[in-house]
Structure formats: structure tokens, C-alpha cells
Structure 1
Amino acid sequence: MALTSQIKPYDDRWPVMFEVEKALLQVVFAPHSVEIQHVGSTAVPGLAAKPEIDLLIVSDHQDEDRVDQDMASLGYERGKDLSNGHMFYRRDVGGIRTHKVHVFRPGHWQIFRMLRFRDMLRQDDELRLQYQVLKLELESKNESGIKEYLSQKAPFIDAVVGLLPKG
């Protein structure tokens, strides 16, 4: 089964695509947005990735119905909450996933995990290569879709950020 999109070589346009989307999302989450960060593999120069721009938003907003409506006006569909305090939105164009938005309440543990992993990949060429090899291998062996792919990447990510012992 295919992933939400196919892994591609790094594209220099990804940071620009993030900045464009960030400007739109700042309006949606104002004045409650604390920060908007580019995360995921498209945020790591030189790393092959599914060409899906991942955004991390820290927000203490209260009006979820308004946010859902504003996100829908930008073409986003709300997925199920990934955990308490972690909302998820996705945008597909022509059946292809283009953007994912993770909205966290301040202090959520996943904020640390996502930012630390991104920063470690940006700073360590060997780690970046190991992760790229893993992603390409998981993509080539994937049988049941994105949930399988994500669950198989998670132990590597957790070990790298120090949430589990390496092994």
C-alpha cells in the first residue's frame, strides 16, 4: 500500500513553501499562536522526504470550531486528535498530501521530541544519512500504509532523542 506520497530527494523549495504556509496560519491562530516551526524531514536540508510540509504550531487557542472553519477555508481537513492537546490537520491536493499541521497546547511533550529530532538531523550528517536509509527501506517494504511506516520509524526517533535507549 502506498504512503501518503513518495519519498523524493531534498527540494530547496520546501523552506519557501513552509514560509508561505506559516504566513497563512499565523492569521488563523492569531493572537493565540506562540510559535510556528517547520518540522519533519522537509525541514532538514539534504534529507530525502515525502514532499509534505510539516508545521508545528504551539497555541493556547480556545475556539476549536473557529480554527476548524478557518483551516477548512485553507483546504485543511481536521484528522483525529493524536493525543490530548495535539490536534492534527492535513491538506491534500489532487489526492496527494501536501501539508500536515500539528497544533499543540504549550508544554506538550511532542513539541520537544519533534524539534529535538529535527535539530539533531540538521547538525549530524551521519545521523541524517542513517535516517534517510531507514526511511527508504521502510518505504520499499511498506505493505499497509502510513501507520505502518510511522510506527516503524518511531523507535529510531525515540532512541535518537533520548526517549528510549539505543539498541
Structure 2
Amino acid sequence: MERYGGGAISVSDYDPAWPEMFEQERARLQSVLGTPILTIEHMGSTAVPGLAAKPIIDLLVGVRQLTEVRSHCIEQLQALGYTYIPQYESWLPDELFFRKGVPGPWTHHVHVMELSNPRWEAFLSFRDYLRAHPDAASEYGDLKRSLAVAFKDDIVGYRNAKHDFVVAALRKRREDE
């Protein structure tokens, strides 16, 4: 079982400082990574106003070709204090994953992937659905709080237990379009 790095999983009330924290980190990433980066998006629960979240800023970094940026990106992000987590590639082969603040509590996660990766659209669709549906966001926040209590430091169990909610929200998002 993968353990959560900061001890027990903690879900906090929404912090209005999170968007600014994203903007500051986005600017750092853009200045260091430069032109291979096509766009950087704020994703995850900290990107949804009013939503309770683990206090970790998730950044989604879009690139044209992952193979072109792999070595450059890893070195540059390590220089900014990020740790590359290569074991995630076994279940996310088309994505590079980094954590800042290791061994926990983490402050930032960076997901680097091509814009054509289906997870790119899924991440942003889920975020946008929650932004457009405050009742769903509130329900999701309540779910996360209860799962944090139930799963304590079992981050895989916590993540898996949210899966059905995420799938249902993405289905509703498609129906809304």
C-alpha cells in the first residue's frame, strides 16, 4: 500500500490563496522550462473555488512531445525542488509526475504530458464541471473529507474510492455539452 507522505490524509477548507500560489509556481515553471511548454493549467481540487482539498497545488504541464522534454524537464524541475517519481510511469506511461516538498507534506504536484493525452482533457473537464456545478463540488468535498477519515494514510485507497464520483461527473459533463 502506498502511504501518504505527510502522515494522515488531510482535506482542508478552500483557501483563496491557492490560485495565487498556482500563478507563482506557473511563472517559475514557465521561466525554467521555457519554449517546450505549450501551456500550464491549474487542475485538481485547489483549482475549484470553494472546494475542500488536500492543500497541494496541482499543475498540468502540456508539451508537444513528451520524449523531447523528458531529460530537460526532469533536470529543470529538480532544480526547482521537485522530485521526479518514475514509478508512476508503470501505470501512467505517457506522463511524468513530480512532487515538491518530498517526503511530505507535499506542496505541489506537476503532471507533464502531451496535450493529446486523454488524461489532459479528463483533468480539465472534471475541473470545469466542478467549477460550473457548485453543488457537485460541495458533494465532492464532503466525499473527500469522509474518505480521508476512512483511509487515514492509504492514498491509493483514497484515490480509488473517489473514482466512481469522478467517472459520474465526467459523464454528466459530456451530457451537458
Q: How big is the alpha-carbon RMSD for the aligned residues of Structure 1 and Structure 2?
A: 1.9
Q: Distance in 2 between matches of 1:98 and 1:144?
A: 17
- Partner residue of 2:175? none
- Partner residue of 2:70? 64
Q: Distance in 1 between matches of 2:103 and 2:153?
A: 21
Q: Distance in 1 between matches of 2:105 and 2:135?
A: 30
Matches within 5 A, 1:125-164: 125-143=134-152, 145-162=154-171
Does 2:114 align with 1:92? no
**Aligned positions, number:** 163
Deviation, 1:60, is 2.4
* Greater RCO, CA 8 A, separation 6+: 2
> Which amino acid counterpart does residue 73 of structure 1 have in structure 2?
A
- Worse-superposed segment, 12-21 or 122-131: 122-131
Q: Distance in 2 between matches of 1:76 and 1:2?
A: 17
- Partner residue of 1:74? 80
* Deviation sequence 1:62-110 (CA, Å, 0-9, x none): 1422211111111100113252221100011673110000111121001
> Which amino acid counterpart does residue 76 of structure 1 have in structure 2?
Y
Confirm or deny: 8 A CA contact 2:36 2:69 kept in the other structure.
Answer: no
TM-score by length of 1: 0.90
1:47 aligned residue (30, 33, 51): 51
TM-score by length of 2: 0.85
SS at match of 1:162: helix
Deviation, 1:29, is 2.7
Confirm or deny: 8 A CA contact 2:5 2:106 kept in the other structure.
Answer: no
Gaps of 5+ in 1: none
- Partner residue of 2:111? 102
The structure in which a higher percent of residues are helix is 2
1:23 aligned residue (16, 27, 37): 27
Confirm or deny: 8 A CA contact 1:35 1:58 kept in the other structure.
Answer: yes
> Which amino acid counterpart does residue 62 of structure 2 have in structure 1?
V
SS at match of 1:96: coil
Gaps of 5+ in 2: 173-177
Deviation, 1:3, is 6.6
Query: Share of identical aligned residues, percent?
Result: 35
